[in-house]
Amino acid sequence: MRKALVSFVGLVVLGLLLAPINAAVTGINSSNTVIVLPTTKIVNGVPLHIGEDAISGSRLGAFLVLRGISQGTYTKTVFVPVEYHSVLIADENQTYKLNSRDMPDVGLNVSEEPVGKGIVIQVNFSRVDFNSTKKAAEFKDRSVEIVFNENTTPLDIGGNYKVVSTTVNGKDTMYFYSALNVSGVSSSLGDTLSVGAWSIKFVDINVNQEEMLVDLTYPSGLLKQKTMEKNSYYIMYVDANGNEDFEPFSTYPESRINELLESGVRNLFVFTPTGFFVGIGGTKSVIYDYQYYEKVKQYGDGDVYSGQWVWDIDPANNLYVLYLHVNESAGFKRVFAGEGSSVKLPTDWGLELRPLFTKNDKGEVTGVEGYRFVRVTSVKKTVSVVAPKIEATDDVYKFIINDTELTSLPSDKNVIIVGGWVSNKAWALLEQVYGNETINSIKDEVMKKGYVVKELNNPHNSRYKVIILAGKTHEETAIAVEEFMRGM
């Protein structure tokens, strides 16, 4: 019988897909319903039409499968690419500096001079030519430059940072340090402060003398006891060669700090106690400030930042230039930008420089009309998508069952009983659950009217229903099924 039911459902689903269905009714579908079909074949020697009842039940099953398919609207956040363009820039062998007048949507603080937060993006058009063989613009050495100061570096090292430039063995060099500046922190006797790979344990605190004894643990694991006094400064560092040291100062050692940073120190910890007090419960405590620097990157003149973009460092003026480098003998190949291509700046700004070409009547590239800066970025948008929303069973054998399988009413499903009490044994369960009086009144209605479409509350869960679709004959049972489907 199970194979037959699966075949019935498959055939009838195809038929129902071609027929209009009232989709206004909600609630009952194949995912939350059990259909119970009759199995008794002969009563008192009279054959029953349970095959016809099975067809009606299968039609109902297919109908409920389709009832679980509806149109749903789903929203999703997507990132849509957009482009912002500058005005067309003519090539007149000038040095052009990008500005917000020519490109209001540049998205950067571009400037004529690299001061404050200003960044200079400049093109030396005397170093840009049209290559008639390649049909492309050719960008020569240092044709494009980006000029930064210590406030506007392109390196994303997270949080606060400090840039220091100097000359090492005749080579201009810059160091990038992550920087931490903390003030007004307090610790109690026995506490430990850990900063980077350094740690200070507060072993003894003399509030009256405003001094303390600490266990200082170096990054190497070396432990030394040190005495520290209020308003004195203590420098702890690992130099560029990996040597560790500790130096005390009576005043803020600004020149020594700068000297160490310019030497490429690996890390630098500056600590100063600012006050001593007795806290709640007599706990001795200290208040202190500290600074911590840790080197995360370093570059020298001629070092590659990315691709063919190279550093030119100017320690005297605290300027840092990234320029497009071309030198075939050193491995920096020639740079061309043809139709559909561009020179991309080596940052996360999404900026690129595109040539626009002139063409003859045949559509052949004959020269360069000008150049545009283009910023390619994405914007976040919420879009709505209409798609099928499906609430349907994935197991037809749990959806359509025979009357011998229904031994109790489920608390999480609707139950639809197809067929009368003679052929469908589920009526016996109905009498147990609802009582003979209630069920006998339904039987009487069947005998008088010919069929019933009866809805009862599931006593185990009022959210679900028990629905009886029964007739005196299989024709009238089919009428009950059709009426139920029309009413949904």
Number of helices and strands in the chain (H, E): 7, 30
| Helices 50-67 and 474-487, packing angle to 10 deg | 10
Q: Longest Cα pair distance anywhere in the chain, in angstroms?
A: 116
Q: How far apart are CA 66 and CA 18, in angstroms?
A: 11
> With 90 as the cut, is the pLDDT of residue 30 above it?
no
Which pair of tokens denotes residue 51?
């095959």
Q: What is the mean pLDDT of residues 437-442?
A: 92
Alpha carbon distance 338, 200 (integer Å): 61
pLDDT tens digits for 278-320? 988 899 999 999 999 999 999 999 999 999 999 999 999 999 9
The answer to whether residue 380 scores a pLDDT higher than 90 is no
Best CA proximity match to 425, nearest among 115, 108, 39, 99: 39
Half-sphere exposure (Cβ direction) of 378: Cα atoms closer than 13 Å: 9
- On whether the 161-299 domain is CATH 3.10.350, my answer is no
Q: Are 65 and 17 in contact (CB under 8 A)?
A: no
| Rounded CA separation 358/365 (Å) | 6
Answer yes or no: CATH 3.30.960 is held by domain 2-68+391-487: no
Can you give the pLDDT at residue 31? 81
The share of the chain scoring above pLDDT 70, in percent, equals 83
CA 51 – CA 181 distance, rounded (Å): 85
Q: What is the pLDDT of residue 39?
A: 75
Are 439 and 447 in contact by the 8 Å Cβ rule? The answer is no
Cα separation, 348 vs 163, whole angstroms = 20
Gap between the Cα atoms of 134 and 141, Å rounded: 18
